[in-house]
Chains A and B, each alone.
Chain A
């Protein structure tokens, strides 16, 4: 897990100052009642507001994403907490939308997803308020799981426990 997160850290932290080159306004479909931003906007806002970030890798037409939108993201408590406590970012894993890394390299959102070895959607990556990636969850997650992940970040438990330890003690 730590090796995995180290890999994410290497790739994702390098994006803190990335720029965005719009070409087409192509958005897949994050849940409408959530305040999802582009990756660029979200990272800037999370840094400015010192808030944790929730990064959602989705795909247009992804069935498990649709299922979560209907059965999980509709939960009022979860919606309120995620909109309040996180800066929300959405990446379309098939998008040609361009981003540029501080190194000068540009890539598409699709390249960003493949470089971070995102094989399926949805995949969620949770960041601390220090903008460090903490853990990744792929596939369907229940309301209870999503709320527990959110509480783990919100309560700062990641500073003393792993997610596994936190969930076991809960």
Chain B
């Protein structure tokens, strides 16, 4: 009996150590200069894809107001470099918002963003940019991006005459390294009177999965749709989140919002989102694993550990790699001010204990994480830091070295 007790304790300790030691974050790199009064960075793109790895290059994309109006900027570095390049302005127009980024090929990234209520996309090639391509025709925002097999996919909600449509564009890359628009389709042929919001994409070979916030049911649900023909047609939407109701006659389901997708393995997808099923504790972080490129999703799983059960959590992001690894990041203020937290599956195929990388936790407010996993399992993390909630911001990056099992 006594030895059994110690065996359980040892197993729990091992699991804990495993979670905390999966990545070793030894240092961090500032992407932006010292905080400056009135300067604020934003990492609020749909699906939270603000960092990508393309071969030996790491690129980060964000929005800031350095010139008064919000514009989109990017910075890039080789994985072996200590510092990022000076920032490159990606957008034009009077106001630009909420960029997202995906890797296309070695050293080649694609960036989508909103510019004056239009959706634009262009390539980032080292320190250069391809021509921008305008994708939307109606009022549009909240663009999200993914890429696979040299195809770039951008999804966005579009509003025209008070009707909503979720659109997905597919683009190819020409020999002259320009983006060429190959198709733009609506996920559903029928436009809706209710909003479609904050989409996210996961692409793998021929498969493309799109998920979004949908209000057609009278409350918000996370829906997903699958394309097996590289974005030319989509399956009817399916519910991604399980919803809980019957608390009273008016209850149609708990709140859910801000879904993020990431492809991993051969054809799997991880979805994560904020979910209010816990009642008065605010949003929890929940997830579901999808098979066949996101055509089917499994049951919902709570990501954060028991320590976070009574706290609200925000800004979930997901990342995966071909090796079959995946990880979810978010922020919460369980320790007083906001820190970045991570969780991934442990060897028992369960979500690990929550892990706050020391480089993105502690004094001050660390929030709005975005993550990418490289093929060696190293975790690349970018986030916003500020001294307090009203202070100016700074962008940080850290490399989490994968510790061998």
Contacts and interface: CB of A to CB of B under 8 A. Distances in A.
Contact of B65 (A61, A62, A106): A106
Contacts of A94: 213, 220, 255, 257
A26 B39 CA distance: 28
Contact of B314 (A21, A106, A114): A114
B248 A63 contact: yes
A23 B140 CA distance: 8
Interface string B184-225: 000000000001011000000000000001010111100000
Contact of A10 (B65, B217, B390): B390
Going nearest first, the 8 A-B pairs with the smallest beta carbon separation are A61-B219, A63-B251, A66-B250, A119-B282, A105-B40, A104-B38, A23-B141, A94-B257
A94 B250 CA distance: 19
Interface in A102-150: 103-106, 108, 110-111, 114-115, 119-121
A59 interface: yes
Interface in B240-297: 245, 247-253, 255, 257-258, 279-282
B141 A96 contact: yes
Interface string B156-195: 0101001000000000000000000000000000000001
A10, A114, A115, A120 interface centre (most CB from chain B within 10 Å): A114
B96 to A, nearest CB: 12
B117 A67 contact: no
Interface residues of B, number: 45
Interface string B37-49: 0111010100000
Given A10-B390, A24-B157, A120-B282, A108 B248 contact: no
A14 interface: yes
Nearest to A59: B255
Contacts of A11: 389-390
Interface of B: 38-40, 42, 44, 65, 70, 95, 97, 114, 117, 139, 141-142, 157, 159, 162, 195, 197-198, 213, 215, 217-220, 245, 247-253, 255, 257-258, 279-282, 312, 314, 389-390
Contacts of A23: 97, 114, 117, 139, 141
Given A67-B249, A96-B197, 17 more contacts: A14-B390, A23-B117, A23-B139, A23-B141, A24-B139, A24-B159, A25-B159, A60-B219, A61-B255, A62-B219, A63-B247, A63-B250, A64-B248, A94-B257, A96-B198, A114-B314, A119-B312
B149 to A, nearest CB: 31
B41 to A, nearest CB: 10
Given A60-B215, A106-B65, A24 B141 contact: yes
24 contacts: A25-B159, A26-B197, A59-B220, A59-B255, A60-B219, A61-B215, A61-B217, A61-B218, A61-B219, A63-B247, A63-B250, A63-B252, A67-B250, A70-B250, A94-B255, A103-B38, A105-B65, A106-B42, A110-B257, A110-B258, A111-B44, A119-B280, A119-B281, A119-B282
Contacts of A108: 44
Contact of B40 (A24, A70, A106): A106
Interface in A72-117: 94, 96, 98, 103-106, 108, 110-111, 114-115
Given A94-B220, A114-B314, A103 B390 contact: yes
Interface of A: 10-11, 14, 21, 23-26, 59-64, 66-67, 70, 94, 96, 98, 103-106, 108, 110-111, 114-115, 119-121
